[in-house]
C-alpha cells in the first residue's frame, strides 16, 4: 500500500510556534525528513521508533543533493509509510518545496502541505515591529539573496527593492548583502534606511541588531556569524526601542 507525504512547516524553530496540525502530523509520522533549522526540540515530538533523517542544506556545508532528497521521500512513501517532510519556516517560502512536490506527485503518491510561521513574521514579532503601516509601508517583499551557487541572483528587481516605502525581507543574504546594499544605494535608497539583522529567530541564542543599511553592509563585509539569519530593511525596521 502506498503511503502519504505531508509537507510540514516547522516555523522558525520554537516548538510553541508550530500549528496544532503540524504537531499532530509530526507525532504520527513513520518517517521524518528534516531540515537543519527544523531539528532540535521539534523532533522530540516524534513518536518512538520513527525514522529521523537529516536532509538539510546549509551554505558552505556538505549536504544532500535535491534529487536525492526527493528520491528518499518517494522511496519511504512507496513502503506504505506516513512521511513528514519537515521544512523550516513556511514550507512554501524559499524551501525547494516545488521540486519535492513534483517528484512525489509524479510517483503517484498523495500529499498535503501544512503552512506555518515564516521566519520573517517571527523576526518582526521578536523585534516588536509590524511589517506594514498604512501610508508608510504598504508593500512587503520577500527575496532570496542567494542563487543556487550562493551568489546574488542576477534577476532581482532592484528598483523595487530600493523603494523606501516598502518593507523588504532578505532571506539567505548575510554573505551577499554588502553587494545588494551597494546596488540599492546607487539606485537611490538612503544609506541610513533602517535595517534589522535577526539571527536564530525564536531560539535561545536569538540576536536582534538594529542598524542602517549602510552600516549593516559594512559589518557583514567582514563579520558574519554562523547563525542562520535574515535581514529586514525599510521604514519600520527600527520602530521598537
Averaged pLDDT score across all residues of the chain = 92
With respect to CATH, is domain 4-114 assigned 3.40.1010.10? yes
1 is catalytic: no
pLDDT tier at 194 (50, 70, 90 boundaries)? Answer: very high
Q: Is 21 a catalytic residue?
A: no
Task: Please identify which of the residues 35, 90, 163, 238 carries the catalytic annotation.
Answer: 35
Q: In the chain, where does the domain assigned CATH 3.30.950.10 lie?
A: 119-233
pLDDT at 64: 76
pLDDT higher than threshold 80 for residue 230: yes
pLDDT one-digit tens code per residue, 73-92: 999 999 999 999 999 999 99
pTM: 0.90
Reply yes or no on whether 87 is catalytic. no
The single residue of 36, 57, 147, 239 carrying the catalytic annotation is 57
For domain 119-233, give the CATH superfamily. Tetrapyrrole methylase, C-terminal domain (3.30.950.10)
List, in sequence order, every beta strand (DSSP E) within the chain.
Answer: 4-9, 31-34, 51-54, 82-87, 110-114, 139-144, 166-171, 194-199, 207-212, 229-233
Distance from C-alpha of 85 to C-alpha of 24, rounded to nearest angstrom: 13
The model's pLDDT over 19-56, given as tens digits with 9 standing for 90+, comes to 999 999 999 999 999 998 777 899 999 999 999 999 97
CATH 3.40.1010.10 segments of the chain: 4-114
Catalytic residue selected from 163, 172, 174, 238:
172
Q: Which residue has the cell 518545496?
A: 97
Rounded mean pLDDT, 46-71: 83
pLDDT tens readout for residues 82-121: 999 999 999 999 989 999 999 999 999 999 999 999 999 9
Give residue-wise pLDDT tens across range 196-206.
999 999 999 99
pLDDT tens sequence across 134-187: 888 889 999 999 988 888 999 899 999 999 889 999 999 999 999 999 999 999
Nearest Cα to Cα of residue 227 among 178, 179, 174:
174
Amino acid at each position: 500500500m502506498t503511503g502519504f507525504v505531508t509537507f510540514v512547516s516547522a516555523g522558525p524553530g520554537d516548538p510553541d510556534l508550530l500549528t496544532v496540525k503540524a504537531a499532530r502530523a509530526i507525532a504520527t509520522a513513520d518517517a521524518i525528513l528534516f531540515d537543519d533549522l527544523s531539528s532540535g526540540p521539534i523532533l522530540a515530538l516524534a513518536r518512538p521508533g520513527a525514522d529521523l533523517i537529516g536532509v538539510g542544506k546549509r551554505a558552505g556545508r556538505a549536504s544532500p543533493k535535491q534529487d536525492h532528497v526527493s528520491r528518499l521521500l518517494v522511496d519511504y512513501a512507496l513502503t506504505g509509510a506516513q512521511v513528514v517532510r519537515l521544512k523550516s519556516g513556511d514550507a512554501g517560502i524559499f524551501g525547494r518545496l516545488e521540486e519535492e512536490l513534483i517528484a512525489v506527485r509524479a510517483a503517484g503518491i498523495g500529499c498535503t502541505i501544512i503552512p506555518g510561521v515564516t521566519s520573517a513574521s517571527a523576526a518582526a514579532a521578536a523585534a516588536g515591529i509590524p511589517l506594514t503601516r498604512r501610508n508608510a509601508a504598504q508593500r512587503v517583499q520577500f527575496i532570496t539573496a542567494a542563487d543556487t551557487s550562493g551568489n546574488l541572483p542576477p534577476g532581482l528587481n532592484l528598483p523595487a527593492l530600493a523603494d523606501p516605502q516598502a518593507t523588504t525581507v532578505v532571506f539567505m543574504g548575510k554573505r551577499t548583502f554588502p553587494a545588494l546594499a551597494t546596488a540599492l544605494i546607487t539606485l537611490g535608497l538612503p544609506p541610513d534606511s533602517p535595517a534589522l539583522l535577526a539571527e536564530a529567530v525564536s531560539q535561545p541564542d536569538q540576536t536582534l541588531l538594529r542598524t542602517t543599511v549602510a552600516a549593516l553592509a559594512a559589518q557583514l563585509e567582514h563579520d558574519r556569524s554562523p547563525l542562520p539569519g535574515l535581514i529586514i530593511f525599510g521604514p519600520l525596521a527600527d520602530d521598537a526601542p
